[in-house]
Structure 1
Amino acid sequence: MTLPLLRCAVLDDFQGVATSSADWSPVADRVEVTAFREHHGSEAELAAALAGFDIVVTLRERVPFPATLFARLPRLKLLVASGMRNAVIDLAAAEAHGVTVCGTASSGTPPVELTWALLLGLARGIVQENTALREGGPWQSTVGADLHGRTLGLLGLGRIGGAVARVGLAFGMDVLAWSRNLTDERAAGAGVRRAASKEQLLGESDFVSIHLASDAGTRGLIGAAELALMKPEAYLVNTSRAAIVDQEALLAALNGGRIAGAAVDVFDTEPLPVGHPLRRAPRLLATPHLGYVSQDNYRRYFSEAVEDIAAFLAGEPIRRLG
């Protein structure tokens, strides 16, 4: 007797590459895959869209799965999320509703490249100059900010922050780092100076880049008072978590010209609503959460999602979260 196919939903497949980024044939005889290219903006919309699915694949922390959503999805049996840590999935609720939650290996390409793309784009006015060139605007309208000899301030010196630091050192920058648990020894081992406080780092840095996890201790870490400490010619880059920077305070600083500019890849609401003021903010270089959006990462995520599904079907789930 042929078993009915289980239905698997892939969420937020904006580029339409979920099924081509991995070989799904190991589960093709048991699973029918549907990829959603549009984002579901509310829990009600998401619950309606997923009502007929047994398996859901979601990327990182894009979509919250609270207890109320699990209660609305009685058919759901397996939830696969990229990465091995996810703060927006209620794991206790998943267990209570009989849903197995599995992850994948962490990204092999963290957002170091995007951090530097944004920082360099800010420093050299790449977007403005490219737009002017294409549209017949003025020939040279910006004066670029130098990196060599300038101070790069890193909020966080973990795996990603440390990699960003190495690039900054290669550019000949003076790299300053701070986090609550950073020691002189750890900073010296990375070839950087440890700031005594975040206030010192913000006041001394020409470029500030954030590489901290979002938790109770870092939410709202950069607000109006902290932005006021930055030099008027300094730039802020956030490819980490939106909650670390007070969005309204950043908007006010940009609109008031209190800092030279900012680059942001993460937002309080994603996708960012069309009419959101950040879309019109001056001196802002913004990208739609592209930090982990790369060919190698997608290949890894979706290939391991297929492995997770196959293992679940075999009755031996792997890479379980919680």
Structure 2
Amino acid sequence: MRCAVLDDYQGVSLAMVDWSVLSGQVEVTVHREHFATEDEVAEALRDQEIVVIMRERTPFPASLFARLPSLRLLITSGMRNASIDLTAAASAGVTVCGTGSTSEAPVELTWALILGLARHIVTENTALRANGPWQSTVGTLLAGKTLGLIGFGKIGVKVARVARAFGMDVVAWSQNLTADRTSAEDVRLAASKEELLASSDVVSVHVVLSERTRGLLDADALKAMKPSALLVNTSRAAIVDQQAMVTALREGWIAGAAADVFETEPLPADDVLRTVPNFLATPHLGYVTDANYSIYFREAVEDIQAFLAGAPIRTL
């Protein structure tokens, strides 16, 4: 059978784990480049029976399944992928499987972004390398400040624990969050989104994108934040109104923002976010670590083996 691995930007998928267990059964082709259109994806995968994708880098809507009659097995990293039309997959006779993952990776990147913003790391590093001014910024001390968490799942809980180690107060809010859950972590439950935004020095987003959370942080929400506050989004771009965030940064509603997620990925060359002031950006690196990649590709191989044996595992 023919298998395609998509969006292996770093070219590491075949080196991370042992694919030789599939020798004689599966021929693997790796695509490092991102296919920007559905036509490109359909052309590249037209004869592939197995496809391995990385998170939501390449969407699989119903229209794409209809163009891939040879496809039998689709594997995604993680056990949830909103960009796959599971109903269409089932109708097309395609088995969809996932893999495990670790929540520590996005927690660590969240803190890298918070600290990068608070201490102006990129600005100072760039100046130092360019023989520019020796110290041009004044950092923000996190100890004694308040971290507001929009969402308090397994990632939000771990982000809160790090905040406590920094000596920060932590407040959390989401639509269904209860005081029993937050008090167990020495975190205060905000009475409302507005209360959290108004009282927090750093706001970090950790809710899942859904119709309820799309545009959750709009212009009114950003205006409710302190002018000195920092906003960090490592969840999904659409949770924060992107144009409102640009305006907030340009007009000084907030002091800075950081994001690891964007509505179009890779980010277009002419996107305004590449030039907006006080914005720290990383190219969706939240889950991109040696540990996560090892899990993803090892379990992708296991998923293929199980499928070939007629007993699929980790099905979505």
User: Normalising by structure 2, what TM-score?
Assistant: 0.98
Task: Kindly state the Cα deviation for residue 311 of structure 1 after the two structures are TM-superposed.
Answer: 0.9
Task: Kindly state the Cα deviation for residue 110 of structure 1 after the two structures are TM-superposed.
Answer: 3.8
- Counterpart of 1:69 (choices 60, 64, 71) is 64
- 1:161-202 per-position Cα deviation (integer Å, ceiling 9, x unaligned): 000000001100011111111112211111111110010010
- Match of 1:122, SS? helix
C-alpha contact 1:108 1:296 (8 A) present in aligned 2 = no
- Counterpart of 2:96 (choices 91, 98, 101) is 101
Task: Kindly state the Cα deviation for residue 108 of structure 1 after the two structures are TM-superposed.
Answer: 5.1
1:211 corresponds in structure 2 to: 206
- In structure 1, runs of 5+ residues without a counterpart are 1-5
Matches within 5 A, 1:75-114: 75-107=70-102, 109-114=104-109
Task: Kindly state the Cα deviation for residue 106 of structure 1 after the two structures are TM-superposed.
Answer: 3.1
- In structure 2, runs of 5+ residues without a counterpart are none
Task: Kindly state the Cα deviation for residue 240 of structure 1 after the two structures are TM-superposed.
Answer: 0.6
- Counterpart of 1:307 (choices 284, 302, 307) is 302
Q: Does 1:230 align with 2:225?
A: yes
Matches within 5 A, 1:160-199: 160-199=155-194
Aligned counterparts of 1:128 and 1:253: Cα–Cα separation in 2? 20
- Match of 1:20, SS? helix
Identical amino acids, percent of aligned pairs: 64
Aligned counterparts of 2:182 and 2:104: Cα–Cα separation in 1? 23
C-alpha contact 2:103 2:154 (8 A) present in aligned 1 = no
Task: Kindly state the Cα deviation for residue 89 of structure 1 after the two structures are TM-superposed.
Answer: 0.9
Aligned counterparts of 2:296 and 2:110: Cα–Cα separation in 1? 21
Q: Does 1:148 align with 2:143?
A: yes
**Structure 1 residue ranges (4+ consecutive) displaced by more than 4 angstroms after TM superposition:** none
- Counterpart of 2:16 (choices 7, 14, 21) is 21
Aligned counterparts of 2:44 and 2:102: Cα–Cα separation in 1? 28
Task: Kindly state the Cα deviation for residue 61 of structure 1 after the two structures are TM-superposed.
Answer: 1.9
- Counterpart of 1:45 (choices 35, 40, 65) is 40
Task: Kindly state the Cα deviation for residue 97 of structure 1 after the two structures are TM-superposed.
Answer: 1.1
Task: Kindly state the Cα deviation for residue 86 of structure 1 after the two structures are TM-superposed.
Answer: 1.6
The code of the aligned residue for 2:171 comes to L
Q: Please report the RMSD computed on the Cα atoms of aligned residues, expressed in angstroms.
A: 0.9
The code of the aligned residue for 2:268 comes to P
* Stretch of structure 1 that moved more, 40-49 or 106-115: 106-115
- Match of 1:309, SS? helix
- Match of 1:153, SS? strand
Aligned counterparts of 1:121 and 1:108: Cα–Cα separation in 2? 20
Q: Does 1:135 align with 2:130?
A: yes
The code of the aligned residue for 1:201 comes to L
Aligned counterparts of 2:104 and 2:156: Cα–Cα separation in 1? 13
C-alpha contact 1:83 1:107 (8 A) present in aligned 2 = no
Q: 1:118 to 1:229 in 2, by over 3 A?
A: same
C-alpha contact 2:255 2:278 (8 A) present in aligned 1 = yes
* Stretch of structure 1 that moved more, 304-313 or 26-35: 26-35
- 1:297-319 per-position Cα deviation (integer Å, ceiling 9, x unaligned): 00000000000011111111111
1:157 corresponds in structure 2 to: 152
The code of the aligned residue for 1:102 comes to C
